[in-house]
Amino acid sequence: MLSCSEIIYTLAAMRDLEWKQEALVKEGKPPLVRIKDPKYLRPKVDPSTGFFFDGLEIAELATYIKDNEEEIKKDEEFYNSNGSALESICRLAGPTEGKFARTREIVYIDDSEGDESEVVYSLSIDSKRKRVILCFRGTTTTSDMLQDARMTLKACTLPNVEKEVSLHTGFYGYLFNKDRHENNVGGITGEANKYEAILYKLKKLFHANPTFKLYVTGHSLGASLSSLFAFIASQDPEVPKPVTCVSIASTYVGGSSWRDAFQAAERVGEIRYLRITNSVDVIPHGPPFDLGLHLYKHVGLNLRLHKELIYWNWSPTWSLHFPTGGLMNEVGNAMRNNFVTNIAALPSRILKMHGCPEYKRRLDFCQDELKKLSVNEIYENYFKSSKVPPI
């Protein structure tokens, strides 16, 4: 899931680079870089399906980027921002990673042709694991930052959810404001919102792949959107259950009513959520209230990545926490998620601690132990009385 979250940043950036280059050529100016087959990252969409005629196989994508790496490096601004992600993608072309990468292809990317006011996401099919993967891009544009800053909690009505839930105004708006680029979605008259547009495409994929399950992921802003979308989708009777969300560095999304509704869905096996955070990444921890001092609440099973002194070396470790289980557990989680106690990182290191490369480094270090865990088994330990369907 982390690789999905990292890839969407770079794919969107490279597609945007190609649009910029196309504009330069039209103006009679030389392109910034001369990559081979520049249209490769912008496959045509089949109007009858709404998906690419030819999907982007992850292994082939990795090979394409590797072949163009030296040329891409000539655009220093672009490479400085995307170098780490490009290297991660290139590794997928290797003999080991490539073997698994060939089971997954990206069937659609929505970046609204560079419109910075819209959500950027990708849809992938993993044929080996029988997954439909929805990935939201994290904060990149000024519009993203403005939506992040709209942190007032508001009571919202969600599809197929009986009671209103309190949600971050910006995140709710990103999914439910009208999408100027989507029309005629599933019989909806006029403009659809982003949630409706994505759900319409997902249902098409499930119709074609009836045994597949939905996995939703994202980093930072994308992580917050992923948890919100996954919960709402889990309430739709046509979406296979359980919906699984794996987010990286998610900020707060809602208040107490949000947590209550989310945990009700967890108890009946409709959703499974693994929220991955770094212990000194301040972004997921604060501030824990809006301007009206209304408290936010985290949801899901939190995989917390630490960095502790072991045998005189600073080595990553991990722990699991769930936001329920009585007063003492609630107090403990409040301390762990406190903005002040987690601001150990120097300002110059905040972005590093929040970035995908640091998350990947810590997860890689702990992977032997983490691979032994099953999210479904962990949930069963918390909800013994629930009939939890297998993931």
pLDDT at 389: 42
Tell me, yes or no, whether 391 lies in a domain. Answer: no
Q: Are residues 144 and 74 in the same domain?
A: no
Of the candidates 218, 238, 240, which has an alpha carbon nearest to the alpha carbon of residue 228?
A: 218
User: Is the pLDDT reported for residue 163 higher than 60?
Assistant: yes
Q: What is the pLDDT of residue 64?
A: 84
For residues 295 and 289, the answer to whether their CB atoms sit within 8 Å is yes
Same domain, 172 and 251: yes
**Are residue 252 and residue 375 in the same domain, yes or no?**
yes
Residue 249 and residue 186 share a domain: yes
- Examine the fold and report which residue of 84, 105, 126 is the final residue of a domain before the chain moves on: 105
Nearest to 305 by CA among 315, 297, 313, 295: 315
Mean of pLDDT over the chain? 81
Q: How many domains does the chain have?
A: 2
Q: Which residues make beta-bridge pairs with 273?
A: 245
Peptide bond into 287 cis (omega under 30): yes
- 329: tokens are 């557990």
258, 121: one domain: yes
The answer to whether residue 389 is domain-embedded is no
Residues 101 and 118 in one domain: no
CA–CA distance, 289 with 120 (Å, rounded to integer): 27
List the single range of 27-41, 136-150, 156-170, 199-213 with lowest mean pLDDT.
Answer: 136-150
CA–CA distance, 119 with 139 (Å, rounded to integer): 10
333 pLDDT more than 80 = no
Q: Are both 96 and 129 inside the same structural domain? A: no
Cβ contacts of 188 within 8 Å, gap of 6 or more: 196
- Do 223 and 291 sit in the same domain of this protein? yes
Final residue of a domain: which of 71, 105, 139? 105
Of 341, 292, 336, 5, nearest in space to 151 by CA: 292
Strand partners, 320: 303
Question: Is 300 inside a domain boundary?
Answer: yes
Q: Is residue 359 in some structural domain?
A: yes
The residue behind tokens 């490009």 is: 86
162 and 115 belong to one structural domain: yes
Domain boundary among 58, 78, 105: 105
387 within a domain of the structure (yes/no): no
Same domain, 47 and 185: no
Tell me what percent of the residues of the chain surpass a pLDDT of 90: 34
390 in a domain, yes or no?
A: no
Q: Clarify whether residues 212 and 86 are in a common domain.
A: no
What's the domain range around 141? Answer: 111-382
Residue 217 lies in a domain: yes
Cβ neighbours of residue 345 closer than 8 Å, sequence gap 6 or more: 280, 281, 282, 352, 353
Concatenate the DSSP letters of all residues of 243-268 into one string: EEEEEES----B-HHHHHHHHHHHHT
Residue 188 banded pLDDT, cuts 50, 70, 90: low
Does residue 81 sit in the same domain as residue 159? no
Residue 382 class from Cβ within 10 Å (0-12 exposed, 13-18 middle, 19+ buried)? middle
Mean pLDDT of 188-211: 88
**Residue 282: other Cβ atoms inside 10 A:** 19
* Residue 82 in tokens: 């995307």
CATH for 312 = 3.40.50.1820
What's the pLDDT at 5? Answer: 81
Residue 388 lies in a domain: no
Please name the residue ranges forming H helices in 134-279: 142-149, 169-176, 194-208, 221-234, 256-267
Q: What is the pLDDT of residues 213-222, one digit of tens each?
A: 999 999 999 9
The residue among 44, 212, 7, 10 whose CA lies nearest residue 126 is 212
Q: What residue spans of the chain are helical by DSSP H?
A: 2-26, 58-67, 69-72, 76-91, 95-101, 142-149, 169-176, 194-208, 221-234, 256-267, 327-336, 350-354, 356-370, 375-382
Of 143, 112, 131, 118, the closest CA to residue 58 belongs to 131
d(Cα 135, Cα 106) in Å, to the nearest integer?
Answer: 10
What is the distance between the alpha carbons of residues 300 and 263, in angstroms, rounded to a whole number?
8
pLDDT of 231 over the 80 cut: yes
CA distance 386 to 321: 19
Residue 243, Cβ density class (10 Å: 0-12 exposed, 13-18 middle, ≥19 buried)? buried
pLDDT bracket for residue 390 (50, 70, 90): very low
Q: What span, in angstroms and rounded, lies between the C-alpha atoms of 297 and 253? A: 7
